[in-house]
Structure 1
Amino acid sequence: MRCIEITAPGGPEVLKLASRAVPVPGPGEILIEIAYAGVNRPDALQRAGAYKAPPGASDLPGLEASGRIAALGPGVSGWSVGDPVCALLPGGGYAEYATCPAAHTLPIPIGISLRDAACLPETCFTVWSNVVMRGGLSAGERFLIHGGSSGIGTTAIQIARALGARVWATAGSAEKCSACEALGATAINYREADFAEVLRAEGGANLILDMVGGSYIARNLKALADEGRMVFIAFLESPKAEINFAQVMLRRLTITGSTLRPQSDTAKAEIARQLRAQVWPMIEAGKLKVVQDSVFPLEEAASAHARMESSAHIGKIVLRLF
């Protein structure tokens, strides 16, 4: 099979087309013939040598994909060869075939193409587990998402809106702010306004989903309402900051966060179960639509990474495997 290997830690140029044997699904796993693979920030971190694949996972990048089931491993039930699926992968998505636990696999929502379906797993797993399961967002609450025009951001805006929350989103250009507004968020251009002041004027955010960190951390605390929650999913600026923790005590704030890839297969299976029950109906009802930026052929994976790291994109970037 064709695949993309990371030849050495470095920039996008270290991604090279290669050939490997087709993997064999083990117990409880399925083999997917991949049509499209999503491109995500963790892929770039892995390429740079800052995010190692967990034990037993493929060393190839790629954490989500769509396609059709090519083979079933021992003990797998409920799926058939040929079924169209999308899946959260432990790795290996930048290839014509990849294996993954059957419990992390989901049917393609009705009305969704294979191309759009490749954009769903990583973002939906991340947003649902952090905004709802960990962050506890509920109807009527005020929700702030940073990076509102990213794949995570566009998904978070729509899920929060579908749950009945009021949504604010930060973005760095008029075009990106317009994209956030089109999805139902109140956009804040962080180059022109202080998001903390905007949210304080509204009574404060009940929940903030942050992927920036660094200088945003103290400002997030200021933006939170009393009893507010802050959930971290990445630190694009820095994981370090100096803050006054007395505010956490006095205002009864909650600070938490998570990364998806290192979690247990059981934990990911539970997220998949909730997505199928709660989020897939949102998609099929038209309440959650994929926002896609661009499609690159597999052999142009380096260009896809350069596009993502330029931060010029709005929504998801995918690789086409055929």
Structure 2
Amino acid sequence: MDATNLSDLCADGLVISAPGGPEVLRWTPGLALPAPAPDEVLIDVAWAGVNRHDCNQRRRGPTPAHSDVPGLEVSGTVRWAGARAGHLRVGDAVCALVDGGGYATRVVAPAALTFAVPPGLALREAAALPEALFTVWHNFFGVAALGPGETVLIHGGTSGVGSLALQLLGALGHRVAVTCGSAAKVAEARTLGAAAAFDYRTQDWVQAVLDGTDGRGVDVVLDMAAAAHAARNVQVLARRGRLVHLSPGDGADFVAPLRPILAKELRITGSLLRPLPLAEKALIADRLRAVALPLVAAGRVRPWVSEVFPLAEAAQAHARLESGQAMGKLVLEVPR
């Protein structure tokens, strides 16, 4: 079917009405959708994942660069599939990485970034997969070039990304240590398979990591806490280790002693997933289909959905995420 034959190319959803707190999310019916291209699909959204990026975008406010409807990952059913949408068919249960628009009843997604929901996984859990999977794969195997048997430290081990990363990397044979912000989070991280977990508020995690690696340190650190741990991350990295940042904070500066960076030949880097070109995201998707999704289907990797909110209560979900108390992924149930 040609996209010009589609009717009702609109959706109801939440719009970022101004820069600010969660209260600036406004329910808006009849949002116009772009006509899907032949290599895209139109999805009737059942669930949408909530991510820190959504909160950051909301605080910045509307921008011509992106959709004012937040939401970077969804699950649901295919309503329309383009002629170049590959194996995807109308009625398929799918989850997808989208460039905004997820907090709505329908969204257009690139077929290349849309996955069939793995067997045994509910749509609710599937909505928590795309952003975390793409983030984990790109940063560990792309940016950090994680090699066989290398060791990892993740700050934020019970976050949506952290909880999926420690499962996936563990399943692929990597020893993963994590830091968390409370004893309860430490306990959950160990349940999820962390080889070691530390409360960064009460424990000397640098010394603990060094003790656990015979003084060598870890090969890769993934840090979602901006530059808060900069100098300590340098301490804990092994020779030729890589430090990968996921959050720029509020314009935070990276401050750490230069000598150990030079002496250990460390690489300090980071990434933003959303600006990656579609072609690069499609290559990541291919690797996820080949390696990660079979592990999900086998039950060895599972997204951890900890809390559910109706789409109309997305403001409460944002407040919960920004409180720092949430664990796992928060998802929004979209009215059908």
Query: TM-score normalised by the shorter chain: which range applies?
Result: over 0.9
Given that 1:138 and 1:165 are in contact with CA atoms closer than 8 Å, whether structure 2 keeps it comes out as no
Q: Secondary structure at the match of 1:76?
A: coil
Listed as ranges, the matches of 1:25-36 within 5 Å are 25-36=36-47
Given that 1:212 and 1:234 are in contact with CA atoms closer than 8 Å, whether structure 2 keeps it comes out as yes
The match for 2:270 is: 257
Listed as ranges, the matches of 1:309-320 within 5 Å are 309-320=322-333
The match for 1:269 is: 282
Q: Distance in 2 between matches of 1:33 and 1:22?
A: 14
Given that 2:62 and 2:68 are in contact with CA atoms closer than 8 Å, whether structure 1 keeps it comes out as no
Q: Are 1:16 and 2:26 counterparts?
A: yes
Letter in 1 for 2:222: L
The match for 2:227 is: 214
The match for 1:108 is: 117
The match for 1:150 is: 159
Note the C-alpha offset of 1:174.
Answer: 1.1
Letter in 2 for 1:61: P
- List per-residue Cα deviations over 1:42-85 (Å, max 9, x = no partner): 0001100179574xx53210000000111123543321111111
CA pair 104-181 structure 1, distance change in 2 beyond 3 A: same
- List per-residue Cα deviations over 1:149-200 (Å, max 9, x = no partner): 1001101111111111111110111110011000111110001112222222
The match for 2:184 is: 175
Q: Distance in 1 between matches of 2:60 and 2:226?
A: 20
TM-score normalised by length of structure 2: 0.91
Q: Are 1:95 and 2:108 counterparts?
A: no
Q: Distance in 2 between matches of 1:98 and 1:52?
A: 19
Moved more, 198-207 or 167-176: 198-207
Q: Could you tell me which of 309, 312, 317 is aligned with 1:296? A: 309
Given that 1:200 and 1:225 are in contact with CA atoms closer than 8 Å, whether structure 2 keeps it comes out as no
Moved more, 227-236 or 170-179: 227-236
Q: Could you tell me which of 197, 210, 213 is aligned with 2:207? A: 197
Q: Are 1:130 and 2:143 counterparts?
A: no
Q: Are 1:42 and 2:20 counterparts?
A: no
Equivalent pairs counted in the alignment come to 320
**What residue ranges of structure 1 are gaps of 5+ in the alignment?**
none
Q: Are 1:187 and 2:197 counterparts?
A: yes
Q: Distance in 2 between matches of 1:307 and 1:282?
A: 30
Moved more, 237-246 or 26-35: 237-246
Q: Could you tell me which of 233, 236, 246 is aligned with 1:233? A: 246
Q: Secondary structure at the match of 1:20?
A: strand
Given that 1:212 and 1:237 are in contact with CA atoms closer than 8 Å, whether structure 2 keeps it comes out as no
RMSD: 1.6
The match for 1:120 is: 129
Q: Distance in 1 between matches of 2:274 and 2:83?
A: 24
Q: Distance in 1 between matches of 2:180 and 2:162?
A: 10
**What residue ranges of structure 2 are gaps of 5+ in the alignment?**
1-10
